[in-house]
Structure 1
Amino acid sequence: MTDPVDERPAGDPDRPGPEAGASGPDATGGTDGPGERRSGLRNPAKAVRGLGAGTLALEALVLLLAIQPIRVVGGDLSGAAIGAIVALAVACVVLAGRMGRPWAWNAGTVLQGLLMLSGLLHWSLLVLGVIFALVWAYALHVRRVILG
């Protein structure tokens, strides 16, 4: 008795193998050629730009939404601290729109440092800075893994 999988034609998309678009080692033991995608993404650079822009947009939203809870729970939030929060949120939005530029990832790293530095104005900004610095570090790691 034969296995019904063996009776399928070679071009069948349900049949495993290199003709079905599998990546990685093929049936002959070789690996993908130098011109083929390693990540499986259609446009890895665009995906990474989206990751960076999304991270910065989320950071801007959290910064702006954090003003009132910090004032209520955290106590004394000075005008300078509120100004720093708004300025950092605007910088995040502007930088999110510029993620296609080669300097944008470095500027995002500097932005995380500035947020942690604003912790001198209020301790909760330091906490937010550490959290978003870790998120940004993960985004940088994903960028390095995908783009090489």
Structure 2
Amino acid sequence: MSVPAAGGGPDGPDVASPDDVGDGPAGTGGKPSGLRNPAAAVRGLGAGTLIIEAVVLLLAIQPIRLMGGQLSGAGVAVVVALAVWAVVVSGLMKRSWAWHAGTVLQVCLLLSGFLHWSLGALGVIFAATWGYATYVRRTILG
């Protein structure tokens, strides 16, 4: 008879098996996520996505202006406002409406493509990223 390694069973380290965990996300009887705090993990995913978006938006201003972009002062103000909006919403991810505010932010970024095509391209990229984050949220939380 062999003795299991310290800190684990015969299958290796302590990992929650489907038999050890409850009914899955939100009591749906589905496959468990294996996360200790799924809601916090999903909030972190949403907040991280928005923070990265804010940084990319702020870093995009100067290259757009230098590479012949006709981004006016109003256009720069719109980009800065969108970046600030992303940071504020990322800090409010505990609120139930924050995910909807993030979706509206993505729509506004897509519409800013009328100011400059590269902002529209960023809007497509981050809308796809946000769509994936909401898909993960729906999958994990039910």
Contact 1:112/1:129, CA 8 A, preserved across alignment: yes
Normalised to the residue count of structure 1, the TM-score between the two structures is 0.82
Q: What is the RMSD computed on CA atoms of the aligned residues? A: 2.3
Going from structure 1 to structure 2, the CA distance change for 1:77 and 1:12 (only over 3 Å counts) comes to: closer
Partner of 1:3: none
Change (3 A) 1:81 1:42: same
Seen in structure 2, the aligned counterparts of structure 1 residues 52 and 14 have a Cα distance that, compared at 3 Å, is same
What is the CA deviation profile of residues 7-61 of structure 1, one whole-angstrom value per residue up to 9, with x for unaligned ones? Answer: 326x9724129xx55412x5xxxx8543798111110000000000000000000
Matched, 1:34 2:29: no
For residue 91 of structure 2, the aligned residue among 72, 97, 100 is 97
Secondary structure at 1:118 match in 2? helix
Other-structure match for 1:113: 107
Q: For 1:43 and 1:78, how far apart are their aligned partners in 2?
A: 45
Gaps of 5+ in 2: 26-30
How far is the alpha carbon of 1:115 from its aligned partner? 0.5
Provide the residue aligned with 1:16 in structure 2.
11
Partner-residue secondary structure (3-state), 2:8: coil
Q: Secondary structure at the match of 1:8?
A: coil
Q: Deviations over 1:83-118 (max 9, x none)?
A: 100000000000000000000001100000000111
Q: Distance in 1 between matches of 2:128 and 2:68?
A: 23
- The structure showing larger relative contact order (alpha-carbon pairs under 8 Å, at least 6 residues apart) is 2
Q: Which runs of 5+ in 1 are unaligned?
A: 1-5
Q: What does the per-residue CA deviation read over 1:65-92, in whole Å, with 9 as the maximum and x for residues that have no partner? A: 0000011114211111101000000000
Identity percentage of aligned residues: 63
Q: Which has the larger radius of gyration?
A: 1
For residues 33 and 82 of structure 1, the distance between their equivalents in structure 2, rounded to whole angstroms, comes to: 50
